[in-house]
Amino acid sequence: MSWLDRLKSGLSRSTTKLADSLAGLASGTMPLDEARLDAIEEALITADLGPAVAQRIREKLEGPRFERGIDEAGLKAAVAEEITNILAPYAKPLAVTAFPRPHVILVVGVNGVGKTTTIAKLARRFTEADYSVMLAAGDTFRAAAIAQLRIWAERVGVPLVSGEQGADAAGLAFTALEKAQAAGTDVLIIDTAGRLQNKSGLMDELAKIRRVLQKRSPAAPHDTLLVLDATTGQNALSQIEVFQSVAKVSGLVITKLDGTARGGVIVAAAERFHLPIHAIGIGEGMDDLRPFEAQDFATAITGR
């Protein structure tokens, strides 16, 4: 199965939600009147694309291109075209650019979004591209998190820097950077504890990790990735807002698209925050995290 076919399969619930919402709202022989346009706009909002995106697509449909009418296939094509236009500027693969090495990637996000498995999948992709990788178990609040990352590091075949439960996360990140520099490692990926948006102390510690890293390498972290669980829908937008203000998020990774009908939130996130979307995940396997492609996503979610 090709990646596009896997993506279509993984997004099937989101696709069904959008397709069902749009069903019956187009006519190949009649112009789109205000009532139909209102219904299409509401359908797009219901599919988690968000009000701003829905309004933008509506404005496209009001143009002279569709004044003679549009059928259902044409409506899907028009929606897919505009989704592609919105997403294309933000579909950017994660690149290793730092010199001197290592390229430091800080991975943040709330509990349960899949940070640890995302780190493992990223490490796998980097090693396959012939980069040397080191991991750091910066989630020192939970012994289970350290143990889980150790298992993944062994599976991928990369070294792990870890400490005891309760150790200072910023100090561990600093030590990991020292070791990565000494070893000439290309990429250092640092896990962090799952931060709850209303826990200001934990968020302050995340800011501290950034400050400590910069003492050793002024440009670090070179990327701060926010991992989002697509099943949270519009709540993902509030997570972006909080983490962007505290952790200076530079890009997004969206997981669990195969378990939700809310995949449209990716479009809402891109339109509102203008952050790169580096990768999306549609399963638990090591090959189920791939670089984000705007046109493929638009094709899949509209069911074209």
Which residues are annotated binding-site positions? 109-116, 191-195, 255-258
Location of structure tokens 């990774």: 253
Residue 149: name the closest of 94, 101, 202, 194 by CA: 194
Burial environment of residue 157 by CB neighbours within 10 A (0 to 12, 13 to 18, 19 or more)? exposed
Q: At what angle do helices 294-302 and 72-87 cross, to 10 degrees?
A: 150
Binding residues for GTP: 109-116, 191-195, 255-258
Residue 120 gets the label, from left (phi > 0), alpha (psi -120 to 50) or beta, of alpha
Whether the upstream peptide bond of residue 89 has omega within 30° of 0, thus cis, is: no
